[in-house]
Amino acid sequence: MVGRRTDIHFHGPNLEHMLADNDAGLLIGDPALQIDRSRYLTIDLAEEWIRHTGKPFVFAFWAVRQDALRQAELSLDLPAVFQQSRDHGLEPANLDHIALEWAPLLGLSEDGVRSYLTENIYYQLDSSCLEGLQLFYRYAAEIGALPVAPEMDFLGAANAASV
């Protein structure tokens, strides 16, 4: 509703506690995967973002402070380190190990974990994702939810997507 005041209350990732005192709750990460969707009206933020903007929704990315870069060992190729880490985690044997370890912790099947990691997550920050991210920052600044975002600067410009 336009003009209706929205109060935000911070809670730990427990939907029952959130809904005891609030009309809605927001869960991200592993706790969101554990929700019994047959009990609640659920809205997937990425699906809604794509439906309204036509752009991908970026939930996370690697970021490094400039002063940390100055302190880093000069021979360290951070873009390569991050890419190798991503690629290592996506190797089939490693995905199987991750699924085996995390399935019981999340209350999901191993296939469910593996499927989530390989079908629901996009591991590239390409130009389309950057456009979606910049649009999110612009909208958030327009409504006062976030300050204006600084210009993004990429390490290894040859490997980074540009807008």
Q: What is the pLDDT of residue 86?
A: 92
The angle at the Cα of 34, spanning 33 to 37, to the nearest 5 degrees, equals 90
Q: Return the axis-axis angle of helices 92-106 and 78-90, rounded to nearest 10°.
A: 70
Instruction: Report yes or no on 21 lying in a domain.
Output: yes
Instruction: Report yes or no on 99 lying in a domain.
Output: no
Q: What is the pLDDT of residue 49?
A: 95
Q: What is the pLDDT of residue 1?
A: 45
What's the number of domains the chain is made of? 1
Sole residue written with tokens 């929700």: 35
Instruction: Report yes or no on 71 lying in a domain.
Output: no
Q: What is the pLDDT of residue 50?
A: 95
Q: What is the pLDDT of residue 27?
A: 92
Instruction: Report yes or no on 33 lying in a domain.
Output: yes
Instruction: Report yes or no on 151 lying in a domain.
Output: no
In angstroms, the CA 42 to CA 25 distance is: 10
Instruction: Report yes or no on 108 lying in a domain.
Output: no
Give which of 61, 27, 29 is closest to 134, Cα–Cα: 61
Q: What is the pLDDT of residue 75?
A: 66
Instruction: Report yes or no on 1 lying in a domain.
Output: yes
**For the chain, give me the number of helices (H) and strands (E)?**
8, 0
Q: What is the pLDDT of residue 159?
A: 42
Q: What is the pLDDT of residue 148?
A: 94
Ranges of the chain whose pLDDT falls below 50: 1, 157-163
In angstroms, the CA 100 to CA 94 distance is: 10
* Structural domain of 33: 1-42
